[in-house]
Amino acid sequence: MKRNTLTRNLKEMLERIRRAFLPATILKVFVHGSYLRGDELPGDLDVVIFANVKNEWAQWDKSFWSLRECHALVVKCYDGGMSLENAMRGPLAPEIEKRAIPMEWVTTISWSELFGRNAPYLSYMLSWEKITRRLLTKGTKGIHIQLETSSEIFTPVSGRLYKHHEIPVFLIWSNESPQSYELEPTKDEYEAYLKLEHKNLQTGIADARFLITSSHLLIKKSLAVIPQEKLGDVALQVLWNTPKYEVTEELLRESLRKFSIPEDKVYSIKIRGTKIEYVLARTEEKETKLKIRVNTLDKTNKAELVIQKILKKVVSKNEATKVNCRVLDMDKGQAILQVTKPAIMNKNDFRAIWKRRGFNIQDVFEQMYGQKEVVLPLGSNKDKLKEEINRALGMNE
């Protein structure tokens, strides 16, 4: 979203803190993430709010649960196609008023939270945090709120609570000084934030994903304040924290060159299927090991693909709905074959067929599958491999 849109929504949220009747007393409001780092197009606006729960919440919880007495009326409103808010302000209003339930709170919930198929009033789906978030963000977009009541220091860098760490956030509001601060951090505050982020690299708690290379603007701004001796550490953190879906390998290599790291020092490790991790060769010894690992994984992935194609041809869908394999050792030819029971197949029939073929049968979470460790000529041609797989499956008997 555009930065000025998020700023406008943030101002609206601060206004609601001042005037809305909330189930919590707001103490302080902090901003962190891409908005604080200066991005012109932040993904969203990350806000941390410290609050105390009001006593009214306990009464609300008790009163809301007692609405089960009106279940027939609730169902009638629902079946009649009435919106929940209209139902609360209309036919259910006397019951709401009698129980002293704040109308502002009750109109934030949904039908699915109000009743289930056979169990009315799923109050366990509600919380003071949910109600507070909804009241503060209703009608706005892009604001992500995390509510905290702990006195420990919140570290948005890691998404967890830590004691004795500075807070790399920008305080924009407090009940001690209810006039909102300037919503744009100063240049000094911005640089202090970035320096603190990089300082935290040495603690092992920092999440350097804000350096993910999809944000060229961020890389450009960050480089100016990262100590030269920390560039390698930062690059390593980028690689550790970069999932495949967030950035392409080409973009990652291009951006890491800005850290003076040759792109041929970055290795893509493909692990089982499509999962990819990026690893940085920081020493010659590390690079030698990475080359061996990449080569081995490449051979393993290709061998598994060939075996799986053969399995799909030789195993009937009536006997197994899914077939899979995992190569354990390329040199020794060790592999595990796996078959999964079809939904329409009787469990006893599946167990009898595959147990006779030497498979170990497992029944886990209503899914039955069989596994068998085998030795295959992985370096041979497909015909020879198919013959051995048939033998391992007992198809030649």
Same domain? 180 vs 211: no
Same domain? 229 vs 147: no
Same domain? 138 vs 253: no
Q: Is 57 left (phi over 0), alpha (psi -120 to 50) or beta?
A: alpha
Torsion of CA 163, 164, 170, 175, to 10 degrees: 70
The tally of domains found in the chain comes to 3
Q: Tell me how far apart the alpha carbons of residues 358 and 52 are, in angstroms, rounded to a whole number.
A: 61
Q: Tell me how far apart the alpha carbons of residues 248 and 173 are, in angstroms, rounded to a whole number.
A: 38
Q: Tell me how far apart the alpha carbons of residues 358 and 148 are, in angstroms, rounded to a whole number.
A: 55
Per-residue pLDDT 10s for the chain (397 aa) are 888 899 999 999 999 999 898 999 999 898 877 777 677 777 788 888 989 988 878 777 777 777 777 878 888 887 888 888 898 899 989 988 888 888 888 888 877 776 654 444 454 557 888 889 999 999 899 999 988 886 655 555 444 444 434 556 778 888 887 776 677 777 777 766 666 655 654 443 333 343 443 334 444 555 566 666 666 666 665 565 555 555 566 666 666 666 666 666 777 777 665 567 777 777 788 889 888 888 888 888 889 889 989 998 888 888 888 888 889 898 899 999 999 998 888 889 999 999 999 999 988 766 788 999 999 998 888 888 988 888 888 765 5
Phi, psi angles (nearest 5°) of residue 232: -60, -40
Same domain? 172 vs 220: no
Same domain? 12 vs 97: yes
Residue 270 belongs to a domain: yes
Residue 93 belongs to a domain: yes
Element (H, E) at 252: helix 249-256
Residue 292 belongs to a domain: no
- Retrieve residue 181's tokens: 């601060």
Which domain-ending residue is among 153, 185, 217?
185
Residue 301 belongs to a domain: no
Same domain? 122 vs 29: yes
* pTM for this entry: 0.53
Same domain? 10 vs 105: yes
What is the pLDDT, as a whole number, of residue 91? Answer: 92
Residue type, 23: P
Same domain? 170 vs 250: no
At 27-63, the pLDDT tens digits run 989 887 777 767 777 778 888 898 998 887 877 777 7
Same domain? 277 vs 310: no
Same domain? 86 vs 157: yes
Residue 287 belongs to a domain: no
What is the pLDDT, as a whole number, of residue 218? Answer: 45
Q: Tell me how far apart the alpha carbons of residues 334 and 230 are, in angstroms, rounded to a whole number.
A: 43
What is the pLDDT, as a whole number, of residue 228? Answer: 66
Q: What number of residues does the chain have? A: 397
Same domain? 149 vs 277: no
- Retrieve residue 99's tokens: 């129980």
The DSSP line for 9-32 is HHHHHHHHHHHS--SEEEEEEEEE
In terms of Cβ atoms closer than 10 Å to its own Cβ (0-12, 13-18, 19+), residue 139 is exposed
Place of tokens 């015909």: 383
Q: Tell me how far apart the alpha carbons of residues 203 and 387 are, in angstroms, rounded to a whole number.
A: 55
Residue 31 belongs to a domain: yes
Residue 198 belongs to a domain: no
Residue 368 belongs to a domain: yes
3-state helix, strand, coil in the chain (%, to 5): 45, 20, 35
Q: Domain span at residue 23?
A: 1-185
Q: Which of 49, 51, 44, 50 is nearest to 7 (CA)?
A: 44
The DSSP line for 180-237 is ---SSPPHHHHHHHHHHHHHGGGGT---GGGG-TT-HHHHHHHHTTS-GGGHHHHHHH
Contact 189, 214 (CB under 8 A): no
Same domain? 177 vs 65: yes
